[in-house]
């Protein structure tokens, strides 16, 4: 494991110590989680306007929730669920606040993690750009389904929409992403990013 991807036991140990009020452990935990949280937020929302605020809110929610973490399941999965919940709530509030003014999204900045290979970073950045081509609702379901591994019923529950709506958004998002990839197919017939058809 690299310095940016600590072992699960290490994260759980930091979380347990932070839950008891150990400030240094809390700082280390936040430092270790920041790239993961920020990248997940970045994949969920378009543009970088509020990514740092959303990531900060998610990290604070993770800290506040530590006393309730029972060690059931992987700590990263628990932190990811909190990040998703906080990000979607923040995004919903922002959409309501700025519904009348739709600005073009600024260029994205996917965070490069320590020790991350350049080719992996470039692919992640390119995937984020592809996700930016999707409407917000479709982007959310794709990330939650393919990155977080949520089932359609879980999508519906987390997004607060009916099952059929979640299923439809996922189908439409997949279709649009395939169309976008097809349009970007290179003259040799391969897809950009090293992605193959059907992957």
Q: What per-residue string of b and e applies to 189-199 under the rule 16 or more CB within 10 Å gives b? A: eeeebebeeee
Residue 58 clears pLDDT 50, i.e. is over it:
yes
Gyration radius of the chain over CA positions: 18
Residue 70 has what pLDDT?
81
Higher pLDDT, 71 or 56: 56
d(Cα 29, Cα 43) in Å, to the nearest integer? 21
Q: What are phi and psi of 23, to 5 degrees?
A: -65, -40
Domains of the chain: 1-107 (1.10.1740.10), 133-193 (1.10.10.10)
Residue with tokens 């990155």: 147
What digits encode the pLDDT tens for the residues 112-133? 455 556 665 556 667 777 887 8
pLDDT band at 95 (very low <50, low <70, confident <90, very high): low
Task: List the one residue out of 128, 27, 41 whose CA is nearest residue 79.
Answer: 41
What digits encode the pLDDT tens for the residues 136-165? 888 888 888 887 788 898 888 878 889 999
Q: What is the pTM of this model?
A: 0.61
- Specify whether the CB–CB gap between 181 and 191 falls below 8 A: yes
Of 17-26, 103-112, 164-173, the one with minimum mean pLDDT is 103-112
- Specify whether the CB–CB gap between 75 and 16 falls below 8 A: no
Residue 159 has what pLDDT?
81
């Amino acid at each position: 494991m690299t310095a940016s991807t600590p072992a699960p036991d290490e994260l759980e140990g930091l979380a347990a110590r932070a839950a008891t009020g150990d400030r240094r452990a809390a700082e280390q935990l936040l430092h270790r989680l920041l790239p993961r949280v920020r990248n997940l937020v970045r994949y969920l929302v378009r543009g970088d306007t509020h990514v740092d605020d959303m990531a900060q809110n998610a990290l604070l929610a993770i800290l506040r929730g530590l006393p309730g973490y029972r060690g059931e399941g992987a700590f990263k999965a628990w932190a990811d669920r909190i990040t998703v919940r906080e990000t979607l709530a923040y995004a919903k509030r922002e959409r309501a606040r700025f519904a009348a003014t739709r600005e073009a999204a600024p260029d994205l900045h996917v965070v490069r993690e320590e020790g991350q290979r350049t080719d992996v970073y470039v692919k992640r950045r390119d995937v984020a750009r592809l996700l930016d081509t999707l409407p917000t609702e479709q982007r959310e379901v794709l990330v939650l389904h393919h990155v977080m591994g949520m089932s359609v019923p879980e999508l519906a529950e987390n997004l607060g929409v009916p099952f059929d709506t979640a299923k439809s958004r996922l189908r439409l998002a997949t279709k649009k992403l395939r169309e976008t990839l097809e349009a970007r197919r290179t003259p040799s017939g391969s897809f950009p990013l090293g992605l193959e058809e059907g992957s």
